[in-house]
Amino acid sequence: MDLAPRHRRPLPLPGPWPACAGALLDRGAAWLHTETTGEALLGLPGGPVLASRWSGAAWTTTRDGLPRPGSPWEALEGVQREHPGPWVGAATFELACDEAALPRQALPPGALGQHWRGLQRALHVQVGQAELWSWEEAPPDPTWEALLSPEADRAHAPLTLRPRWTEAQHRAAVEEIRERILEGGFYVANLCVPFDCTFKGDPVELACRAFARARPPFGALLDLGELHLLSLSMERLLARRGDRIWSQPIKGSIPLTGDGERDRLAAEALAADPKERAEHTMILDLVRNDLGRVARTGSVRVSRPMAVEPYPTVQHLVSTVEAEARPGLGLADLLRSVLPGGSVTGAPKHAVCGHLARTEAAPRGFYCGALGWIAPSGDLDLALPIRTAQIAGDTLTYWTGGGITRRSDPAREWAELFLKTRALAD
């Protein structure tokens, strides 16, 4: 994470990571966890907060309680350079739909649409070595370091996730999409289902256990005030470094068994599967088009097509689409072009989003929105919050889904939902 802190110094950890960070996480520290590099960023409590809420008629955005002008993306772009550090947070699927003028489900007044915190200080950990980072004028006050201390294992609360609709309902929804595709209404649609459970446990304990099990490339635990967001995502929605912008859509999955030869053969079958390749190709075309709207002409390319990547419980087809940003491209236009992500909507976006708004069991919330960091320079790294739990009070909701094409098998699609709960559930 190249976030250009103003001050940085080594900080010996008093115990194993992340067990020594529990007290800070209890106080609202923002945790971004990158398993692929052994890297973590723990944004310490404090700093300005930008939030958008649905009034029942429009989005209203505030910074520390004071109104901000413009749409939510415009307000986020407006504060981007007002704070010396990065903004860490998340935005919902429904807010992204509104910014892109796409249909979405109705929301109750007061629904949270985005929540970003401007970091003042952070603990950066890579392969067990820690540094204290600060974006403030003066070096950071070390008094909070007393909160870093080893602690005993926290109580484990087992999860029993239950889908909000039945297998028969899901099969009927899949068949309806297949019929719409046959009629020419759209080409592929990503149908998602919420799973619910009562949760009386500790979000920090759940995050530590889930990160160890799922080893997510884009893990996060964020305290958004009224809810905790626990993401085990493996999909990069959008990144920017200078003029380079890129996305890494995922489409196509198969279980990972742990048997090397069996998994190798399964990976070969996944890469050759006509249904999975067709679904992935359609999403690739959509992502190329999304980036093309904000890129220099002729710069969009697929640099790594349909690579099979293994994760602890599943293998996925992953591609990398990159481009050169057009001169003067701002944050709001970039987000409006790419979000919501093509791999969690379908093609064409407007027709699919209209159908999903009438079909799915509930608004998705932060699931399938965006999550990550945005720097004052304009650089950013946003994950697509799949494999993501939203914890509000004693209710935990965890969505899963999959892309539906004309070749989809309703029974297989139902089974895939449960496969994707294995990253979190016992």
Q: Does 84 map to a domain?
A: no
Residue 40: its pLDDT value, please? 94
Note down the domain range covering 419.
Answer: 162-191+236-386+400-423
Residue 214: its pLDDT value, please? 87
Q: Does 293 map to a domain?
A: yes
In the predicted model, what is the mean pLDDT of residues 282-302? 95
Residue 141: its pLDDT value, please? 66
Residue 147 predicted with pLDDT over 80: yes
346-370: pLDDT as tens digits: 999 999 999 999 999 999 999 999 9
Number of independent structural domains in the chain: 1
Contact 90, 222 (CB under 8 A): yes
Looking at every residue in the chain, the average pLDDT score rounds to 93
Percentage of the chain with pLDDT > 70?
Answer: 99
How many CB atoms lie under 10 A from the CB of residue 305?
Answer: 14
63-72: pLDDT as tens digits: 999 999 999 9
Q: What is the largest CA-CA distance in the chain?
A: 65
In the predicted model, what is the mean pLDDT of residues 134-145? 77
360-405: pLDDT as tens digits: 999 999 999 999 999 999 999 999 999 999 999 999 999 999 999 9
Q: Does 167 map to a domain?
A: yes
Sequence-distant (≥ 6) Cβ neighbours of residue 336 within 8 angstroms: 73, 99, 100
Which of these, 7, 49, 74, 29, lies nearest to 332 by C-alpha position?
Answer: 74
**Which has more confidence, 314 or 162?**
162
Rounded CA-CA distance 337/59 in Å is 19
Residue 275: its pLDDT value, please? 82
240-283: pLDDT as tens digits: 999 999 999 998 888 888 888 998 998 899 889 888 888 889 89
56-65, 150-159, 181-190 — most confident range: 56-65
Q: Does 304 map to a domain?
A: yes
In the predicted model, what is the mean pLDDT of residues 44-72? 97
Q: What is the CATH number of the domain that holds 260?
A: 3.60.120.10
Question: How far, CA to CA in Å, does 46 sit from each of 17, 28, 162?
Answer: 22, 9, 36
Residue 37 burial (CB < 10 Å; 0-12/13-18/19+)? exposed
Task: Report the 3 state secondary structure along 209-246.
Answer: HHHHHHCCCEEEEEECCCCEEEEEECCEEEEEECCEEE
Please report how many Cα atoms fall inside a 13 Å half-sphere around the Cα of residue 333, on the Cβ side. 12
Q: Does 392 map to a domain?
A: no
Which of these, 215, 219, 173, lies nearest to 193 by C-alpha position?
Answer: 173
Collapse the DSSP code of 56 into the 3-class scheme (helix H, G, I; strand E, B; otherwise coil) and give the result. Answer: coil
Q: Residues with catalytic annotation?
A: 235, 251
213-243: pLDDT as tens digits: 888 999 999 999 999 999 999 999 999 999 9
Peptide bond into 348 cis (omega under 30): yes
DSSP state of 354: H
Q: How many helices (H) and strands (E) does the chain have?
A: 10, 24
Residue 97 predicted with pLDDT over 80: yes
Contact 368, 344 (CB under 8 A): yes
Residue 299 predicted with pLDDT over 80: yes
Q: Does 370 map to a domain?
A: yes
Residue 422 predicted with pLDDT over 90: no
Alpha helices in 28-186 (DSSP H): 72-80, 93-99, 167-183
Q: Does 32 map to a domain?
A: no
Q: Does 146 map to a domain?
A: no
Residue 426: its pLDDT value, please? 61
Residue 73: its pLDDT value, please? 98
Confidence at 135, pLDDT banded by 50, 70, 90: very high
